[in-house]
Amino acid sequence: MRAEESIRTGNTALGIEFGSTNIKAVLTDLSGSVLATGSWQWENSCVDGIWTYPLVQIEEGLRGCYSALRENVQKRYRLTPVTYGVMGVSAMMHGILALSEEGRLLAPFQTWRNTNTQRAADILTETFQFNIPQRWTVAHVYQLMLEEAPYLDACVCATTLASYVHERLTGQRVTGVGDASGIFPIDAKTCDYDQSMLDAFEKLTGRDIKRLFPKVLKAGEAAGRLTPQGAAMLDETGTLQPGVPFCPPEGDAGTGMVATNAVLPGTGNVSAGTSTFAMIVMDGRLSKVYREIDMVSTPDGSPAAMAHANNGTSDINAWTGMFGEFAKMLGVPLDDGKLYTMLFEKSLEGAPDAGGLASIGFYSGEGMLSLPEGVPLFLRRDGGLDLADFYRSQIYGALAVVRIGLDLLLKKEKVPLTRLTGHGGLFKTPGVAQRYLAAAAGTPVTVLETAGEGGPWGEALLGLYYLARRAGKQESLGTFLQEAVFRDMKQSEVSPTPDDIAGFDAYMKEYRAALEVERLAVEKIRA
């Protein structure tokens, strides 16, 4: 009855996140407890060398996801939601949507997966003395300048997917500081685009680039309200009423930090899905510029070091799909959840070093390794081949590139880390990927009971923080999350064993050697 009353009166928070393969909505009550969810499957495609999603899929997916949520609420509570206490949109970070004055998309949306900006990223990194990854929005903008793109003069906005969708719903061209930190470097003191680097860009190009970017907002600030046009776009039935307040849109790195209670210095998380990345929140700066490490921001503006791998679980999904097809052929079809659980648990029987196997699931380029494109590879030495070692190598492979970044942060820079939390699809089977991540990082790993809810739940929590601030509470985002959401949450912690640590180290030796084969494959196959 309390849930029904919350929905009926609009005492709720709704977060919607555009992930790489899934657009998901999560509805919570004012304590952060999940009331209902909805989702819509989609997939990027490589068109003329560009990883993209068609604009029509963005709009169709948004409506489809919301429709699934609405139907879930109707089924569970026999209610149709008319309003919410707060809403928020998040999405995969980086990339570029280039818009005209009329809001028309001037070129296909380029996602984070693209690695066609190496020249621009190199020049900007040298100019700023700050690492600019290939996938950042500013790298895309400068690459367009270098290539003299014909539509560049008509471009009045270069933005991200989260900010774009937010503007369609509210009319406000803004984004959260975490998402903004994947657009252009952020000054931690001002929580805005770094002015010295803006000046350096203008000196380099003669252009004021800040005018192209959305306004930056911190967690807890107002970000507009749902317009009548936005309500009609979201809900084709006309039931949803305009006027719902919005919290700032965010990137998936920021919502991942919120969803794992990892926004305070010394806390970290690893998000493992289509891409895999590790985040550690810092008090200060790194001793030098690393091309392997991005410096981004938490949703409340604190600096965070990110080790980002463009490739994560795609190859695991492909292999699992094939085994599912084989099971169906034998007359024993399995649903995806059971299939993944069986295969992941089987991997626990494998050797600590995965039997000398190496899995490189690169479907796209890998910026951290300066690989412009990818070719999925599976390599093994002479000897036996069994299912347990094979799946262990697959899961290890999904964590291997992030391990390279963690070695720089934890071993070379000795960044303080008090807690590391795993979330995302890789951690849905209890005690498997969590154990392997603990071995990779050499530190205990926590998984929360909400690990499967992920980014949209994190965006809903940011909405609740906005409501708390609007009610006059002045607590920090970190304090709010700890006291209002995570204090009594169930969690499990796994510590690494010496055998697992030694095994992952041995696997990484094989993996690093296999990367030379990957480079040759890219050169010979993708040329």
User: At 259, is the pLDDT very low, low, confident or very high (cuts 50, 70, 90)?
Assistant: very high
From CA 213, how far away is CA 205, in angstroms rounded?
Answer: 16
The domain tally of the chain equals: 1
Tokens read off for 503: 């095994």
Q: Tell me, yes or no, whether 127 lies in a domain.
A: no
Query: What pTM was estimated for this model as a whole?
Result: 0.87
pLDDT at residue 527 tops 60: no
CA 86 to chain centre: 22
Which residues lie closer than 8 Å to 73 by C-beta, 6 or more apart?
A: 7, 27, 35, 36, 79, 80, 81
Q: What pLDDT band is residue 1 in, cutting at 50, 70 and 90? A: low
pLDDT of residue 451: 62
pLDDT digits (tens, 9 = 90+) for 432-486: 999 999 999 999 999 988 766 788 999 999 999 999 999 999 899 999 999 999 9
Q: What is the pLDDT of residue 450?
A: 72
Does a structural domain hold residue 480? no
Contact 143, 209 (CB under 8 A): no
Query: Percent of the chain, pLDDT > 70?
Result: 99
Average pLDDT, rounded, for the chain? 94
Residue showing tokens 């003395």:
129
Q: What is the mean pLDDT of residues 294-306?
A: 94
pLDDT of 21 above 90: no
Domain assignment present for 326? yes
Q: Mind listing the pLDDT tens digit for each residue in 209-234?
A: 999 999 999 999 999 999 999 999 99
| Cα separation, 201 vs 127, whole angstroms | 8
Domain extent at residue 338:
314-451+491-525
Q: Which residue has the higher pLDDT, 285 or 255?
A: 255
The CATH number given to whatever domain includes residue 410 is 3.30.420.40
**Structure confidence by residue, pLDDT tens digits, 390-438:** 999 999 999 999 999 999 999 999 999 988 999 888 998 999 999 999 9
pLDDT in tens, 481-516: 999 999 888 889 999 999 999 999 999 999 999 999
Say if 464 falls within a structural domain: no
What's the mean pLDDT in 285-303?
Answer: 93
Does some domain include residue 403? yes
> What confidence score (pLDDT) does residue 284 get?
83
377 part of a folded domain:
yes
- Measuring CA to CA, how many Å separate 376 from each of 119, 178, 355, 399, 401? 25, 31, 19, 15, 14
d(CA 495, CA 210): 45
The pLDDT of residue 452 is 65
* CA 154/CA 104 separation, integer angstroms: 10
Residue 327 forms part of a structural domain = yes
HSE-CB at 238 with a 13 A cutoff on CA atoms is 0
Q: Is residue 135 part of a domain?
A: no
Q: How far is CA 363 from CA 253, 316, 374, in A?
A: 21, 11, 5
pLDDT in tens, 352-405: 999 999 999 999 888 888 888 899 999 998 777 899 999 999 999 999 999 999
What number of other Cβ atoms are within 10 A of residue 171's Cβ?
A: 13
